[in-house]
Every structure is written in C-alpha cells, then in structure tokens.
C-alpha cells in the first residue's frame, strides 16, 4: 500500500495534553493550502511512476478547519500529480463541533470515505479538563451527522486514564461507543508529555492522574468491551469491526513507504526518514522558493530492527520470523530468538504461523517486552 499524509497545522484551541505541531493563527490558512499543493508537485517523483496511491490521510492539527473548497484544492493536486486508486481509503480527521450535517455532506461529496472523529470522552467534565472545543452533546451529534451524510467507515478516538476518571465513567464512554455503532475505535491512555499544560498541572497538583495499575484496569475493561461488541483488537490501541482496519496506519506499522506533506509532516522512502520544518511561516516561504524544507536521516540497521520490533509487535500480525531472517544480519535473529524464548516460557508471547505475537497477558506488558528486544 502506498499512502499520502497531509498535515493541516491549525487548531482553534489548545488541548492541554497535546504536543503535536499546530498553530492557532489561521490567518495564513490559504497560503498553507497553496504551499501543500506546491509541495505535492515538488515531490511528485517520491513514488515511482507506476505507483498507485491507495491511502490518503488528512491529519493534524485539525483538518476540519478547512473549507470544502480548500480540501477540494488539495485533493485536485493529489490527483493531478499522483495516480490514485478509485478504491483509495481517504481518511479525514475532524473535531466533533465542526461536523455539521452540511459539512459532513460536503466531505462525502468530495470523496472522503473514512472519518476519524476526535471525541476523547462522552463526559463534559473530562472535555473541560482537557480544554477540548466540543461537549458531549456535540460528540454524539457529530457521529449521527456523519452517518446521515452517508459515511459507513467511522472511527472515533477515546481516552482513558484521564484526571479524576472513574471505572464507571469509562464504562459509560464505552457504552456510548457501542450505542453509536461505529466501525473502528482508537483508544489511548493519557500520557503526560513534557512542555504541555498537563505536565505543569501534574507538577503543581492541579490534576492527578491514575497510577499505572489503574490504567491497566481501564485497558483490560476496554479489551473485554471490544470482544463483547465484536471489535477485533488488531493493534494495541486500535479496534475494528468486520476487518475495517485503518489501511493507512497499517502500512506505517508494516514499514511501507509513505509521503508526508505539510509543515512538520514525516515521510519514509524505505531507507531515509524525512521530516518537514515545524513552522508554518518558514514552511510557506521555503516552498514558495521551490525548496522542500526538510531534514533527513538514513536509518541504520539497528534503527530499522528496533522500529520493526516496536511496530510489528503492536499488531495482531506480530514479528514475522522470515522477515527478520531476510532483512537483518544473522546476529539480530539470534538475539531476538533468545529473548523470545524467555517470554514464550512466561506466556507473554506466542508463535503463530511463523510469527511471534503478544498474548493477552503480554499486551498489558507490551512496553517492557518491546524495550527488552531493542538493540542499543
Ligand atoms: S485538536 Fe488535536 S492537534 Fe489540536 S490541540 Fe487538540 S489534540 Fe492537539
């Protein structure tokens, strides 16, 4: 699968836990849209001419700050410079309060066929504490509007381990997810990133977050819920009904190439990782001079190995033994096999069809297991 990621670097409000790159100043939105289109042209040789794009992903920031005309302009540039499959998965991340019925209908007409809605919680108090733009009523309305507009591939983001959250509240959020009958969920434990408002609030005691054992309980409940509701747990934080995996994200986890366009977007060409400058003004200035403002780094064998372990162990497809043997020097597989033996004996990993995957018990300890495999 070959994909294009478009980063829309704007938000209307700062969520207190977020450390993504975005700007609150929407004054240069049109210039950014134009620069994205120009970058798409400048990088039209990223893929070989016979490549067919199978996934397009608008992420952010908040793509739903764009008007239908602005999105159409970007999509037109993609189809002008790349060959896009008629069946391509086109995902669009949005904030619930932007999803009016009209806007959903516009997105549907534009050919967007997968909506990713950043709901996070169905409790107003959680949404307030996180400084989200929407309330629980808007969260629900967003999904209903998307469905009414014809979307049948909807994913929602929810979070657990939030300040002051109780198990009953998490159960309520999950029951709302079930009621809304969406095809996919991404569920994340809150992590406190340095330099965010939450990091400051934890230090000064304004908020308290649950200890690790508490977070594990929420995760266990999530796994149980997913099973009851017929979601397949195909990646640590991702759950899909009827095989409706995120094709775009799955290709990241499978080490496929991807082109990332826009300020702060990352790309990978199979050998080099590249990242664009995280500054809207400098990004626009450079693109207007015909220069993509990015840095790059060649991945060493160790980097590739560690990334492969980290991303593949997170998924239901696991670490493929043949892939390891074919793509890395012998020593890597030997080291892997030794550590693997220990975890198989403990019942944390299992072998299935020539791949090593986490057991249910192992999923709870995945971070520690993965880092044990890393080569430094
Ligand atoms: S909307 Fe998304 S990108 Fe913007 S501040 Fe909130 S979490 Fe971060």
250-293 pLDDT tens trace: 999 988 999 999 999 999 999 999 999 999 999 999 999 999 99
Phi-psi region of 144 (alpha: psi -120 to 50; beta: other; left: phi over 0): alpha
CA distance 9 to 28: 11
**Measured from the CB, is residue 305 less than 6 Å from ligand 1?**
no
Tell me: cis bond preceding 61? Omega within 30 of 0 counts.
yes
Question: What is the per-residue pLDDT across 301-330, written as a single tens digit (0 to 9) for each?
Answer: 999 999 999 999 999 999 999 999 999 999
Q: Ligand 1 centroid to 240 CA: how many Å?
A: 23
**Measured from the CB, is residue 61 less than 6 Å from ligand 1?**
yes
pTM tops 0.85, yes or no: yes
CA distance 255 to 223: 26
Taking a C-beta distance cutoff of 8 angstroms, is the pair 57, 91 a contact?
yes
Residues of the chain with pLDDT under 70: none
Strand 266-268 to strand 272-276: parallel, antiparallel, or no bridges (unpaired)? antiparallel
**Measured from the CB, is residue 19 less than 6 Å from ligand 1?**
no
The DSSP call for residue 24 is S
How far is C-alpha 181 from the geometric centre of its chain's CA atoms? Answer: 21
What per-residue confidence (pLDDT) applies to 364?
A: 86
What per-residue confidence (pLDDT) applies to 214?
A: 82
Listed in sequence order, the DSSP H helices in the chain are: 29-42, 68-81, 101-109, 124-129, 136-148, 167-180, 197-203, 212-228, 247-253, 280-288, 301-313, 321-327, 330-345, 360-364, 366-373
Q: Ligand 1 centroid to 21 CA: how many Å?
A: 9
What per-residue confidence (pLDDT) applies to 213?
A: 79
Nearest to 315 by CA among 266, 245, 371: 245
């Amino acid at each position: 699968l070959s994909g294009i990621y478009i980063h829309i670097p704007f938000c209307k409000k700062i969520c207190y836990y977020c450390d993504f790159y975005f700007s609150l100043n929407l004054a240069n939105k049109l210039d950014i849209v134009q620069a994205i289109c120009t970058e798409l042209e400048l990088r039209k040789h990223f893929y070989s001419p016979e490549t067919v794009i199978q996934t397009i992903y608008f992420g952010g920031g908040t793509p739903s700050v764009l008007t239908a005309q602005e999105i159409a302009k970007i999509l037109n540039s993609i189809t002008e410079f790349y060959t896009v499959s008629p069946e391509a998965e086109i995902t669009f991340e949005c904030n619930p309060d932007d999803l009016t019925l009209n806007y959903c209908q516009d997105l549907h007409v534009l050919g967007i066929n997968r909506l990713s809605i950043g709901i996070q919680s169905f409790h107003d108090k959680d949404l307030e504490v996180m400084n989200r733009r929407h309330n629980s009523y808007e969260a629900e309305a967003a999904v209903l509007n998307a469905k009414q507009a014809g979307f049948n591939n909807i994913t929602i983001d929810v979070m657990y381990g939030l300040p002051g959250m109780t198990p009953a509240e998490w159960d309520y959020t999950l029951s709302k997810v079930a009621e809304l009958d969406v095809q996919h969920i991404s569920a994340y434990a809150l992590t406190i990133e340095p330099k965010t408002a939450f990091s400051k609030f934890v230090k000064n005691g304004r908020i308290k977050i649950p200890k690790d054992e508490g977070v594990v309980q929420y995760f266990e409940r999530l796994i149980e819920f997913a099973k009851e509701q017929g979601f397949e747990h195909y990646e640590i934080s991702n759950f899909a009904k009827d095989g409706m995996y995120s094709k775009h994200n799955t290709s990241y986890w499978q080490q496929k190439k991807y082109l990332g366009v826009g300020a702060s977007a990352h790309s990978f060409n199979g050998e080099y990782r590249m990242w664009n400058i995280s500054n809207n003004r400098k990004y626009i200035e450079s693109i207007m001079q015909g220069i993509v403002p990015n840095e790059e780094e060649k991945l060493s064998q160790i980097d590739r190995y560690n990334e492969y372990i980290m991303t593949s162990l997170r998924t239901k497809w696991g670490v493929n033994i043949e892939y390891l043997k074919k793509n890395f020097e012998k020593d890597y597989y030997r080291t892997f096999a030794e550590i693997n033996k220990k975890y198989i004996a403990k019942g944390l990993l299992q072998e299935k069809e020539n791949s090593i995957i986490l057991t249910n018990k192992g999923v709870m300890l995945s971070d520690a297991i993965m880092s044990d495999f890393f080569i430094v």
